[in-house]
Amino acid sequence: MGKKHILVISQYFYPETFRINDIATEWVKRGYKVTVVTGIPNYPEGKFYKGYGWFRNNREIWNGIEIIRIPIIPRGSNSIGLILNYLSFVVSGFFWKCFTRIKTDYVFIFEVSPMTQALFGVWYARRRKIPCYIYVQDLWPENVQIAAGVNNKKILSAIGKMADYIYKRCTRIFVTSQSFAESVKARGVEEDKVIYWPQYAEEFYRPVPDKSSLISDDGITNITFTGNIGTAQGLEILPETAAALKKQDIRVRFNIIGDGRNKKNLINQIQEKQVDEYFNLVGWQPAEDIPSIISASDAAFLSFANNPLYSMTIPAKLQSYMACGIPIIGSVSGESERIITESNCGIVCKIGDYHDLAKAIKQFIDLSPEEKNRMVKNAENYTKLHFNKSNLIDFIEDYFI
């Protein structure tokens, strides 16, 4: 009997850089037929990518995956645009599920915010009477309350009911951390329905000999952050840290590789603190180029804003950093702190505490080459043991019924 047909629902997909791109590609390699229903690419800049639009490239084949792009309003640069972006995907998805003739065997929902995207995946699965799986990357309503600052009880209650509706109608709920699993189960979901499935790093994330020219090789310690620049990442700690290091006459360079809604604010803070010489702001780069950027760096940086939700989160970039074999300096707590400490692949400081981060950076600079190399090896070994791609794809495949 041949492999079956998987319908992936994800508001974000290639050429946007999300791990679902690699998961879907791996399923195709394993013999599954994969169809992805997604939006028109516009993340994180907030405008449609060149070559895409409401009536351009709505259907394409990439890596053997059939991609169907439904109409969506771009995110823009303000909260109204973001809300319209979220709602438009659901509305378009509703009409798509009503009129599509595509028949599949499973639905797999890749749930990063917004969780609303899961609704029409659930509706489609119920209509076709097929299993529906969801991979929870962001918790709702917690994410809306903490990240978006929404505290209206009626709104949060409505979102909570939506989350419960989705969870109840999913066959299995996969989560990226043990803390997420406990939070989902606390909503009344059956314990055996919730499964911890950690993220892995794509195979191109590995130590490479080539070093990117984007990172200066001038003897200054290079500490590199890659990814989205939003409020959740808590990068406002860096200008404060740079100012503290400047007072101590300790020179480092923070390489910021990426874009996002909070980038302008970060630039303003850098200028206010008069620490421009401590920063190298590079725009978005293809994911495949990140290993050479990491190779040219001395340490990778990981941070979150200081709130309980992010202590439960294991960001995908943590696995990417570790797979590339680089020491990690983390202004984190909870799950991310546990992994860095347990693997002994870096140094963790108090989340949101720039004095402590400056101290951690000085501690890292003072490490011997042998101590830094041990962190590199520890990161690689932990990745092979806990975040092995082949093993994790095998694991989830066992749940396909």
Instruction: Write the pLDDT tens digit of every residue in 186-224.
Output: 999 999 999 999 999 999 999 999 999 999 999 999 999
* Confidence tier at 144 by pLDDT (50, 70, 90): confident
In a domain, residue 133? The reply is: yes
For residues 231 and 180, state if they share a domain.
no
Domain housing 102: 5-197
| Whether residue 233 sits in one domain with residue 183 | no
What's the pLDDT band for 2 if we cut at 50, 70, 90?
Answer: low
Tally of domains within the chain: 2
Residues 94 and 145 in one domain: yes
> How far apart, in Å, do the first and last CA atoms of the chain sit?
13
* pLDDT the model gives residue 23: 97
Name the residue among 345, 331, 351 with its Cα closest to residue 376: 345
Q: Please report whether residue 391 resides in a domain.
A: no
- Identify whether residues 253 and 191 lie together within a single domain: no
Domain stop point among 162, 181, 197: 197
Residues 122 and 255 in one domain: no
Does the pLDDT at position 120 exceed 70? yes
Closest CA to 171 of 213, 126, 202, 137: 126
- The answer to the question of residue 277 being in a domain is yes
For residues 300 and 339, state if they share a domain. Answer: yes
Amino acid (1-letter code) at residue 151: N
395: in domain: no
Residue 131 included in any domain:
yes
Residues 233 and 192 in one domain: no
Domain-embedded: residue 401: no
User: Whole-number mean pLDDT of the chain?
Assistant: 94
Domain end call among 197, 212, 238:
197
What are the pLDDT digits (tens) for 253-295? 999 999 988 999 999 999 999 999 999 999 899 999 999 999 9
Do 188 and 232 fall into the same domain?
no
Asked if pLDDT for residue 77 goes beyond 90, the answer is: no
Is it the case that residue 1 has pLDDT exceeding 60?
Answer: no
Which domain-ending residue is among 197, 232, 267? Answer: 197
Q: Average pLDDT for residues 11-22, to the nearest whole number?
A: 95
Q: Which residues have a Cβ under 8 Å from the Cβ of 315 and sit 6 or more positions away?
A: 227, 302, 304, 336
Q: What's the CA gap between 97 and 107, in Å, rounded?
A: 12
Pair 358, 305 in one domain: yes
Q: Is residue 10 part of a domain?
A: yes
Whether the CA torsion 13, 17, 22, 23 is positive or negative: it is negative
CATH at residue 107: 3.40.50.2000
Separation CA 153–CA 41 (nearest Å): 33
Instruction: Please indicate, yes or no, whether residues 186 and 279 belong to a single structural domain of this protein.
Output: no
More confident residue, 148 or 161: 161
Name the residue with tokens 């939700």: 309
* DSSP track, 88-152: HHHHHHHHHHHH-----SEEEEEEPSPGGGHHHHHHHHHHHT--EEEEESS-TTHHHHHTS----
Measured in degrees and rounded to the nearest 5, phi and psi for residue 7 equal -100, 115
Residue 61 lies in a domain: yes
Same domain, 248 and 366: yes
Q: Are residues 235 and 320 in the same domain?
A: yes
Alpha-carbon gap, residue 372 to 366, rounded angstroms: 10
C-alpha dist (Å) from residue 271 to 196, 225, 236, 278: 42, 19, 12, 11
